[in-house]
């Protein structure tokens, strides 16, 4: 079958990695096409990062309204606040729709095109696309970029959708709920489960978190997760650790814990135990690529084991983060264009949008110790930060004063190897944290930089000064 079209770059997947690769390829003068059967933006924009943050914001606003209607700590009078989740979802969908259109516009502006449909790889230079209008296109390409993303992991005995009697939800379905469940069980105490579980608890759901490990957010150190655990208790969220989900019952979720079998009352069960790379269902096996476990093996340019076949984003390994995929997409486009590009970050920021928020870049103290690094650590409490105090505490403050900013640096030359924070609005420190680590800043560089007052960012300078032994405001 002859090709209907020939392009220089064909990208399978319109998520953060795929669409950025398409934009950058177009900017570099390459004839590029992005193929996806979903609206542009992938999981992150459509059913992940963006809609979840919209839901979290709505939940935070509702929690504040409820508090003002009762104790009114800010002196604001509110009566009988209520939440219409269907309207919240409609508002969220409006944001997503505008961003979908924005991404499509950026691709068009760069000269890249979009084919709406599902790709199936024929070989390393040929892809068939079953378009959304019912036709089939065969597209030949000089360079093939795989950016298919990932899917939520399904547990045995807890199938998503109709197979789970409509009671078992992935994060995708949870973001489209039109009514707040009276009782919700969340299987998995990682960042996705806690973000959505916290939001639904604030909206009025009775939430139980079931975590197989000994504590929530086990990939983060205890100092960072303790304020999150404290706030979950304040919200009435029950956390069952060392406990595994065993399946559905008529009344809820069967679990196996330290005290034996039990049933968690729940009309619906949200399963958030991780994501797996999407490497099946589109003909990838035809290429015989070298794999790294379940992921596609790539080099620092995103090149796979087959000439002119590239891969980016979640299919290439951890961390499965949108901003990692975006940078990889940029690198791959530049590499295809013949530029000396490489994906070699010093560190990649990670954020948990719980209440309070967590942000990390680089090594925490325990990780540094595991690498036999002798470090100094500076910790500055947000309770001593004036801006954090003005944001309040409890519901109206969203944990403004709970938390800290921490700097980890080598003891010999004070090179910063890691920065972490937990507290309200600390996600916005991720840019400063990432820049400091990427540029090889030292404690003195941060401490000597004038930080605006009053801001939470001042706590970064104070943490550096604390590591040097002379913090000013504690």
Residues 118 and 19 in one domain: yes
Q: Is residue 255 part of a domain?
A: yes
Query: CATH number, domain at 372?
Result: 3.30.390.30
Instruction: Answer whether residue 108 shows pLDDT above 60.
Output: yes
Q: Is residue 71 part of a domain?
A: no
Residues 189 and 128 in one domain: no
Instruction: Answer whether residue 395 shows pLDDT above 50.
Output: no
Instruction: Answer whether residue 394 shows pLDDT above 50.
Output: no
Residues 362 and 266 in one domain: no
Q: Is residue 224 part of a domain?
A: yes
Residues 131 and 19 in one domain: yes
Find the catalytic residue in 183, 323, 453, 473: 453
Q: What is the SS3 string spanning the chain?
A: CCCCEEEEEEEECCCHHHHHHHHHHHHCCCCEEEEECCCCCHHHHHHCHHHHHHHHHHHHHHHHHHHHHHCCCCCCCCCCCCCCHHHHHHHHHHHHHHHHHHHHHHHHHHCCEEEEEEEEEEECCEEEEEECCCCEEEEEEEEEEECCCEEECCECCECCHHHHCCCEECHHHHCCCCCCCCEEEEECCCHHHHHHHHHHHHCCCEEEEECCCCCCCCCCCHHHHHHHHHHHHHCCCEEECCCEEEEECCCEEEEEECCEEEEEECCEEEECCCEEECCCCCCHHHHCCCEECCEECCCCCCECCCCCEEECHHHHCCCCCHHHHHHHHHHHHHHHCCCCCCCCCCCCCEEECCCCEEEEEECCHHHHHHCCCCEEEEEEEHHHCHHHHHCCCHHHHCCCCCCEEEEEEECCCCEEEEEEEEECCHHHHHHHHHHHHHCCCEHHHHHHCCCCCCCCCHHHHHHHHHHHCCCCCC
* 2-29 mean pLDDT: 97
Residues 32 and 148 in one domain: yes
Q: State which residues form the domain around 384.
A: 350-468
**pLDDT-based confidence at residue 392 (cuts at 50, 70, 90):** confident
Residues 319 and 460 in one domain: no
Instruction: Answer whether residue 197 shows pLDDT above 60.
Output: yes
What pLDDT is stored for residue 166 in this prediction? 83
Q: Is residue 452 part of a domain?
A: yes
Q: Is residue 73 part of a domain?
A: no
**pLDDT-based confidence at residue 396 (cuts at 50, 70, 90):** very low
Instruction: Answer whether residue 48 shows pLDDT above 90.
Output: yes
Q: Is residue 112 part of a domain?
A: yes
Q: What is the pLDDT of residues 311-367, one digit of tens each?
A: 999 999 999 999 999 999 999 999 999 999 999 999 999 999 999 999 999 999 999
* 130-134 mean pLDDT: 94
Q: Is residue 389 part of a domain?
A: yes
Is 6 designated active site? no
Share of the chain above pLDDT 70, in %: 97
Least reliable range by pLDDT among 184-198, 249-263, 298-312, 387-401: 387-401
Q: Is residue 60 part of a domain?
A: no
């Amino acid at each position: 079958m002859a090709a209907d079209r020939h392009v220089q770059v064909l990208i399978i997947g319109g998520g953060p990695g795929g669409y950025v690769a398409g934009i950058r390829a177009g900017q570099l003068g390459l004839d590029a096409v992005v193929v996806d059967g979903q609206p542009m933006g992938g999981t992150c924009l459509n059913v992940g990062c963006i809609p979840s943050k919209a839901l979290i914001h709505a939940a935070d606003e509702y929690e504040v309204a409820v508090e003002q209607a009762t104790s009114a700590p800010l002196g604001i009078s509110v009566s009988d606040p209520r939440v219409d989740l269907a309207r919240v979802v409609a508002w969220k969908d409006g944001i997503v729709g505008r961003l979908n259109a924005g991404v499509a516009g950026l691709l068009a502006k760069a000269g890249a095109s979009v084919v709406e449909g599902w790709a199936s790889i024929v070989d390393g230079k040929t892809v068939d696309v079953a378009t959304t209008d019912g036709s089939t296109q065969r597209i030949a390409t000089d360079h093939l970029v795989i950016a298919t993303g990932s899917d939520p992991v399904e547990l045995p005995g807890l199938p998503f959708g109709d197979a789970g009697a409509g009671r078992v939800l992935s994060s995708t379905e949870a973001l489209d709920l039109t009514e707040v469940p009276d009782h919700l069980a969340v299987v998995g105490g990682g960042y996705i489960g806690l973000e959505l579980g916290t939001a639904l608890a604030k909206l009025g759901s009775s939430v139980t978190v079931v975590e197989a490990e000994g504590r929530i957010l086990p990939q983060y150190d205890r100092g960072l997760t303790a304020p999150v655990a404290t706030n979950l208790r304040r919200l009435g969220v029950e956390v069952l650790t060392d406990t595994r989900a065993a399946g559905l019952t008529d009344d809820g979720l069967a679990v196996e814990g330290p005290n034996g079998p039990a049933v968690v009352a729940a009309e619906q069960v949200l399963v958030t135990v991780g994501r797996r790379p999407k490497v099946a269902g589109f003909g990838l096996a035809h290429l015989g690529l070298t794999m790294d476990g379940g992921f596609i093996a790539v080099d620092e340019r995103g090149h796979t084991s087959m000439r002119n076949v590239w891969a980016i984003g979640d299919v290439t390994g951890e961390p499965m983060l949108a901003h990692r995929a975006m940078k990889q997409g940029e690198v791959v486009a530049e590499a295809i264009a013949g530029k000396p590009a490489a994906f070699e970050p010093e560190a990649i920021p990670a954020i948990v949008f719980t209440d309070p928020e967590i942000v990390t870049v680089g090594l925490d103290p325990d990780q540094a110790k595991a690498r036999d690094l002798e470090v100094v650590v500076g910790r500055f409490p947000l309770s001593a930060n004036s801006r954090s105090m003005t944001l309040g505490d409890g519901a109206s403050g969203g944990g403004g004063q709970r938390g800290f900013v921490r700097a980890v640096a080598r003891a010999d030359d004070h090179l910063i190897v890691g920065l972490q924070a937990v507290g309200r609005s600390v996600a916005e420190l991720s840019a400063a944290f990432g820049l400091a680590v990427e540029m090889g800043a030292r404690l003195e560089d941060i401490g000597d930089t004038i930080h605006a007052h009053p801001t939470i960012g001042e706590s970064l300078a104070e943490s550096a000064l604390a590591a040097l032994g002379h913090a000013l405001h504690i």
